[in-house]
Chains A and B, each alone.
Chain A
Amino acid sequence: MSTVDTSLFTPELVFFDFEATDRFDFFSKMSKILMEKGYVKESWLDAIETREKNYPTGLAFEHISVALPHVDPEHLIKPYIAVIKPKEPVIFEGMAGIGGDIPAELIVNLGLLAHAEGQVAVLQALMGVFMEEETVADIRAQTTPEGMAETMKKYCA
C-alpha cells in the first residue's frame, strides 16, 4: 500500500459548528470558502451537487455517520482534505442506496487528484479510522482545528 499523504490535512480547512440547513447550503458555503482559499475552481459547486446526486456519499459506520463528498479533479486547483463538524447533522443520501438518509455528524470533503496514489490511500485509511470505536471517540473529542488536523494525520499515517 502506498504511503498516505497526510499533509493534505490542514487546520485551515477544519471547521467546527459549521452551520448549514441542508447539504446544498453546505456545498454553497464550502464553495465560497474553498474558492477564497484557492483550492477549487468556480465549477466545483455545480460539480459536487451533481456528483452527490448521482453518487451519494453518506456512510453509516457503527459509531459515527459521515459523508465524504468529492468531485473529479478537473474542478480542483490544488489537492486538499477539509474536515467539517456541522453544528447539527447534515442529511446526505446513503452511498449505493444503503441506509437511506444519513445524518452526517462529520463531513470529510476529499479534494483528491486522481492519479496520486497517496491520496487514494487517505480514503482507505479514513475507512479504518471510522470503523474503530476508540479513534472515533478521539475525533469526536477534538475542539480545535490544530487538534483535529493532528488527530487525522496521526490515525491516517
Chain B
Amino acid sequence: MERKRHHWIVRLTHWVNVVAVTIMVGSGFRIFNAYPAFARKGELFCCYPWEGQPIPGWLTFGGWLAGARNWHFAMMWVLVVNGLVYLTFVYLHGEWRELVPRRGHIRDSVQMLKFYTFRRKDHPSQGKHNALQKTAYFMMPVVGLLLVLTGLAIWKPVQLAPLTNLFGGFVWARYWHFLATIALVVLSVIHVFMVFTVDPYSIRAMITGKYDDSLSPEARNARPFQNLGPPRASIRPHTPRPPDSSSAA
C-alpha cells in the first residue's frame, strides 16, 4: 500500500543538505589540516590525543587552505538557509511531532536496541520513525545549531567575543566545532548504514516521496542485513485452491 511519506520540501532540503554537509565537512577537514592541533603556540592542549595528526587527504575538499576556506564560507550560507527552511517547514507542517522525543522515549529506545541485538524477537511497534531514528533525526539539527554557533565563534573571535567566550575562548570553541563535526559525521554514517541495511525502500521515499507501508522495517521485522526482501506473505498471498475437477480425468 503506497502512500506519500515525505513532503517535497523535506526531500529537497534533505538532498541539498547531503551536498552542503559533505562539502562543509570535507573543506573543514582541509582547514583543520593546516594546523591539526588545538594548542596555542607555546602551550599544550589537555584534551585531544591526536595533536599534530592530520586527517587523510582523500577525506578533504578544497585542494588547499584558501580553496577550502572559500568553499567553507560560501557553503555555510547554503547549510544555514537550507536548515532554516527545513526547521520552519517541520514546525509549521506539524511534522516535528514525529521527531521530538516524548515520554517513554528511553523505554522505546531500549526496546529497539534489544531487538537489534536479538534479545527481542518482534520489531517494536512504532509511528513514522522508531525511537532510535527519532534520536538521530532530533540530534542532527541540535548538533547543526552547535556547529553554526561554534563556527561563528571561531570565524569572528574578536567581533563576536561574548559568543566565543561562551565556548571557553577561541581554542576551546575550535575544539567544540571539531567535536560537533565528528558527532555529525558519526550520526550520518550510522544513518546511511541503517538505510542500506535495514530500510533501503526509504531511499525511494526520499526521492519520489512514495513509501510502501507493507515493506516497512516493522512489517518485515528487519534488523541490519536481515529480512531485506518483502515479507513472504505479500509475495505469495495464500489463496485456498478451489477443488480441481479437470485433473480427475
Do they bind each other?
A: no
